[in-house]
Copies of this chain bind each other. A is one copy, B any other.
């Protein structure tokens, strides 16, 4: 695949923030031409597929400033510096929903927007949920809701569930259900 590679000539740092940073790289393309690449660096994230003993999927409603609206998502959060993703998963699940899991199993991971960002998200499935008290960060506002898989599918269909990781989670549970039949 080396013939596809873009070589970096120079890197210009544009912005370093609390969550993301932005740089513009000048690259040499495989045909020798020069081009610019706008790159967002992100620390990575985790998300948790948590289904209660009653078979309900745990979702959180959260305001997302880039979208100027609240959307329903599976519990998720950014990885703290040096934190193992499974620890982030346990932490975010507890903070946002109050649940702790006896076991957290890695389902998969994927890049969310490989065209412009390096964000990777690790998807965990929680097994053996124990209810507890949510403890969101002081400046974090989330509302927990629990829905059946059928309700979740309807929410995907009407796009109330409208983000990649949550759409993936619903599909994952539907496939598991279909394969168990």
Q: Which A residues fall within an 8 A CB radius of B?
A: 1, 3-6, 14-15, 17-20, 22, 24-25, 27, 29-31, 33, 35-42, 45, 61-67, 69-71, 73, 76, 78, 108-119, 121, 138-139, 141-143, 156, 159, 162-168, 171-172, 174-175, 178-179
Return the contact of A31 from the options B38, B111, B139 (Cβ within 8 A): B139
Interchain CA distance A105-B17 in the complex, whole Å: 39
Return the contact of A178 from the options B18, B119, B162, B178 (Cβ within 8 A): B178
Residues A65 and B6 in contact, CB atoms below 8 Å apart: yes
Residues B70 and A4 in contact, CB atoms below 8 Å apart: yes
Residues B165 and A175 in contact, CB atoms below 8 Å apart: no
Cβ of A142: which chain B residues have Cβ within 8 Å of it? 4
Residues A70 and B139 in contact, CB atoms below 8 Å apart: no
Interchain CA distance A17-B14 in the complex, whole Å: 11
Return the contact of A167 from the options B70, B108, B178 (Cβ within 8 A): B108
The minimal Cβ–Cβ distance linking A118 to chain B, given in whole angstroms, is 4
Return the contact of A36 from the options B18, B33, B38, B45 (Cβ within 8 A): B18
Return the contact of A27 from the options B37, B45, B65, B112 (Cβ within 8 A): B65
Question: Which residue on chain B has the smallest CB distance to residue A30?
Answer: B141
Residues B65 and A141 in contact, CB atoms below 8 Å apart: no
Residues A39 and B66 in contact, CB atoms below 8 Å apart: yes
Cβ of A71: which chain B residues have Cβ within 8 Å of it? 111, 114
Interchain CA distance A29-B5 in the complex, whole Å: 44
Cβ of A4: which chain B residues have Cβ within 8 Å of it? 61-63, 70, 141-143
Residues B163 and A114 in contact, CB atoms below 8 Å apart: yes
